[in-house]
Amino acid sequence: MKVCFKSILSLVVIIGITLVVKGNLSHSVHAVGGHYYNGMTEPSAGKAYQKAKKVSNNDVIIKHYTKASSNQFKAVGRVSNKDGWKGRGKDSMGTGFMVDEHTFLTNAHVVENAKGQNTNPKYVTLDLNRDGKKIPYKFHATQIKKVPSYDIVLVHTKENMSKVAKVNPLKIASNSKINKLKFKDKLYSVGYPWQGDDNTKSYWNQLVYLQKSVNQAEIMTKDKFRSGASGSPMVNGNFEVVGLRTYGYNLRGNSTFTYAKQEVSGGESLYGYPQKYIKQNLK
């Protein structure tokens, strides 16, 4: 069954661009031009906002993180795209995480060029376990494969990341575990958000699960999501990935918009088709 929404929709994407879309948006369509998030349309957004108001601000946390080298978050790194939305030679960036020895995941928009197409892999690198000027490992992309209709890509690397960094990839949670997430469940992440005009340091987040988006393809959360955290993993208490943090209304932490004040955020779920596609396309 298809459900259509007719309205003018202001979509805030992670790189800070505001897109305005007018017309019929089908329940069965997940992406429009690669940057349509069902969680930022009604009724998904409004329902998430009402739930976010019931969650204490003390339950969402962001803090500088220096312990990744001693746990599974060592599999997370800063993605650099030197031919991204900022232009050739400039550092458009986001976050990524290993899912096998030669593959990391991130949001598609992190590794797109100014035309919205996949960047040539030669411009993409992953600084695994980076924290500021400390860059223990740098890996180079050889191929970028987009999950059709989702803001998710697999990026294959030249190097065997597990062998070089001596780290295990993060595991993807089963469909059953993702499907069983319930309101107020806590999730966790490490990423590279803008904090104090810097996006090179790793930050740990505790976020709170709110709901699935209406089209069931996204996980909506209350989360201090900031620009640069795009592509960072949402994990459960067992370090199993349930989705990728992708969008929010408070990208710089200073928005006065109603939804931003409640830190309404969300990202791509790894339930169903995306998980199947990823497993079929590992290196």
Report yes or no on 190 lying in a domain.
no
pLDDT at 105 over 70: yes
Query: What pLDDT does 283 receive?
Result: 84
Report yes or no on 142 lying in a domain.
yes
Q: Which residues pair with 155 in a beta bridge?
A: 104, 144
Which CA distances in Å does 60 have to 4, 83, 195, 264, 267? 33, 33, 16, 11, 16
Q: What is the CATH number of the domain that holds 112?
A: 2.40.10.10
Distance (Å, rounded) from C-alpha 59 to C-alpha 48? 16
Query: What pLDDT does 30 receive?
Result: 42
Query: What pLDDT does 8 receive?
Result: 27
User: Which of 14-23, 216-225, 229-238, 251-260 shows the lowest mean pLDDT across its residues?
Assistant: 14-23
Report yes or no on 218 lying in a domain.
no
Question: Considering the chain, what percentage of its residues have pLDDT values greater than 70?
Answer: 88
Report yes or no on 34 lying in a domain.
no
Report yes or no on 41 lying in a domain.
no
* Structural domains in the chain (count): 1
Distance (Å, rounded) from C-alpha 129 to C-alpha 76? 6
pLDDT at 198 over 60: yes
Query: What pLDDT does 26 receive?
Result: 31
Query: What pLDDT does 262 receive?
Result: 97
* Arithmetic mean of pLDDT, 177-203: 96
Q: Is 152 helix (H, G, I), strand (E, B) or coil?
A: coil
Which range marks the domain in which residue 138 is found?
A: 74-169
Per the model's pLDDT, the better-predicted residue between 248 and 36 turns out to be 248
Report yes or no on 121 lying in a domain.
yes
Question: Kind of pairing, strands 124-128 and 240-248?
Answer: unpaired
Query: What pLDDT does 15 receive?
Result: 35
Residues 6+ apart with CB under 8 A from 251: 12, 14, 16, 194, 225, 226, 227
Report yes or no on 215 lying in a domain.
no
Average of per-residue pLDDT values in the chain: 88
Report yes or no on 250 lying in a domain.
no
Identify which of 146, 155, 24 has the alpha carbon closest to the alpha carbon of residue 81: 155
Query: What pLDDT does 69 receive?
Result: 80
Whether the CB-CB separation of 210 and 269 falls below 8 Å is answered with: no
Query: What pLDDT does 35 receive?
Result: 55
pLDDT at 244 over 50: yes
